[in-house]
Structure 1
Amino acid sequence: MTVPALTLNNGVQIPQLGFGVFLVPDTETQAAVRAALQAGYRHIDTAKLYQNEAGVGAAIAEAGIPRDELFVTTKVWNSEQGFDPAIASFEASMERLGLDVLDLLLIHWPAPDLDRYVDTWRAFEKLYADGRVRAIGVSNFQPAHLQRLLDETDVVPAINQIELHPLLPQNELRAFHAEHGILTEAWSPLARGGSVLTDPVITSIAGRVGRTPAQVILRWHLELGNVVIPKSVTPARIAENIDVFDFSLTSDDHQAIAGLETGERIGPDPDTFSRG
């Protein structure tokens, strides 16, 4: 399975569909990532918070896949924001991952009450300039947070990884990204255990195209131009989630899915969330 790549604003290629490991215990992560790599995934998304970077690194080491064929993302947590703490967090993550160069480093949340994300971004700019990271970006940033980085720092974020699913399509934020050359990446793309998978709009489309509801939603993301990182620990589901490149949705399908928008969040509000 070959996953198409999108181009970040610095020319780096990112596989459009990746494998997320949020809430996967470290003891299960190596097997899950092994299954993902065997199924054809080449983009793995982890974070310091997830406490499974070591499992990701072990799976990568055992796979024997050439390093330049893999794309690995990790993130700096709120309690480690600030210039020096962010550098230290990155170094610790790299040791756990067993990597010399990271493909993408993200600020996990803006945590505006802490007011450290600009200093954190300056640390990211140094890591990028030093060649330790191929691309730098953010996660869960709102337009105001992004605009501050654009105004006060030098490097435009390559990507913003945000909660995005049919209930929360993030149209305004995606438009801001498009205006400034920032790619949109979706976490919780299936609305994580919500009602979207059983919604009649989704199940009707799935029946017509002969696919599962999850595959329909992942295809919707891809056709919107999002990078998407579904998560599973079940090998059959892992394989199912990557098998979404040989069918298409119609404009009527997109219009129907757009009607599911409620603005409902599964995760925290980025404007107020600052937990360390």
Structure 2
Amino acid sequence: MTGKYGRKNNTKMIFEETYALNNGLEIPKLGLGTWFIDNVSVVQAVKEAVELGYRHIDTAQAYQNEEGVGKGIVASGLKREALFITTKLAAEVKSYEEAVASIEQSLGTMGLDYIDLMIIHSPKPWMEFHSEERFDEGNRQAWKALEEAYKAGKLKAIGVSNFQKADLENILSSCTVKPMVNQILAHISNTPFELINFCQEQGILVEAYSPVAHGELMKNTDVQKLAEKYGVSVPQLGIKYCLQLGLLPLPKTANPAHMKNNAELDFTIDAEDMAFLKNMEQIEDYGEASIFPVYGGKLK
């Protein structure tokens, strides 16, 4: 069996499965997140992931590793069209001119003729994430730049990240191209169902970053017990939970063993256990990640 993204395998693997975005583009159901993987280490991480079967790599301007991701793509030996590459417009870019320049910057930094998916990293600059300012006009301007790059073929799909309903409505009210994804924090014990439902009603695919709650799910005894019941790891349970909700999980790791484990998902969480997981008490402490705005902290 050979899937669209070129991996031959005799067993059912998540790598063969895709979602269809609202423009018809296929996107692999599991991606490799690269946050916190430095620009040097990410080269090998991408190479290892591709060797295992990953075809979807997620980076961002803010990660400062786009160059390394580009080198990893070359080192993988695969044809460019066999891979799905996502990057993100820096959260601080809130003007049309800055966005146009930033799109070109990412293409140049990664050495790519096109990017499969580019998204606005946040509706607000990180240092102002908790401010009352909405940045509606800035987001519309950034979106206009993404739309133009999409229509020019430089981007195959465009979307947003960390956008709430009001932020999405701001884009939807004036766009000529609808967002195709919204990448948000979503995991067992913290699943924003109202936002997810709104996105799905609009035909916007929800991508779930930190599907293992930045590692904090590993400490939850209830989750541990359920993972044992299914004979899987806690990360596998967390990733499968997202998939069964119709989300696209983006676990991050540079460890090949973890990459492999994260993709071994040939099991189903039953309805009763899904209901239990949906209603778990929310994790409040994200450990070292707690300083970041999306996990509740404030950058200084």
Shorter-chain TM-score tier: over 0.9
- Residue 130 of structure 1: which of 152, 162, 165 is its match? 152
Q: 1:243: how far off?
A: 1.3
1:1-276 matched pairs, under 5 angstroms: 1=13, 2-111=15-124, 112-115=133-136, 116-194=138-216, 196-244=217-265, 246-262=266-282, 264=284, 266=290, 267-269=292-294
Sort the Cα spacing of 1:261 and 1:153 in 2 relative to 1 into closer, same or farther, 3 A.
farther
Normalising by structure 1, what TM-score?
0.93
CA distance in 1: counterparts of 2:145 and 2:295, whole angstroms: 21
Q: Tell me, yes or no, if the aligned pair for 1:141 and 1:270 is still in contact at 8 Å.
A: no
Give me the whole-angstrom Cα distance separating, in 2, the residues matched to 1:236 and 1:248.
22
Aligned length: 273
Q: CA RMSD in A?
A: 2.0
Which one is further off, 197-206 or 33-42?
A: 197-206
1:154/1:260 CA distance change after superposition, 3 Å? same
Distance 1:119 1:272 in 2: 28
Are the structure 2 counterparts of residues 104 and 261 from structure 1 closer, same or farther at C-alpha, using a change threshold of 3 Å?
farther
> Normalising to structure 2: TM-score of the pair?
0.86
- SS of alignment partner, residue 37 of structure 2: coil
1:209 Cα deviation from its structure 2 partner? 1.4
Amino acid at match of 2:106: S
User: Cα deviations across residues 185-227 of structure 1 (Å, max 9, x unaligned)?
Assistant: 0111111032x22323211221111111111111111111101
- Letter of the aligned partner of 1:74 in structure 2? T
* Deviation per residue, 1:127-175 (Å, 9 max, x gap): 1111111100000000000001111222110000001111210101001
* Partner-residue secondary structure (3-state), 1:80: coil
Instruction: Provide the C-alpha distance between the structure 2 equivalents of 1:261 and 1:3, rounded to a whole number of angstroms.
Output: 34
Identity of aligned residues (%): 38
State how far apart, in whole Å, the 2-side matches of 1:17 and 1:46 are.
14
- Check whether the contact 1:46–1:52 (CA below 8 A) recurs between aligned residues: yes
5+ residue gaps in structure 2?
Answer: 1-12, 125-132
Q: Which residue of 1 aligns with 2:9?
A: none
Structure 1 unaligned segments of length 5 or more: list them: none
- The higher-RCO structure (CA 8 Å, 6+ apart) is 1
State the AA in 2 paired with 1:238: M
Map Cα deviations across residues 15-45 of structure 1 (whole Å, 9 max, x no partner). 0100010011111110111111111110000
What is the CA–CA distance in structure 2 between the aligned matches of 1:3 and 1:197, rounded to whole Å? 27
Superposed displacement of residue 78, structure 1: 2.3
Amino acid at match of 2:270: T
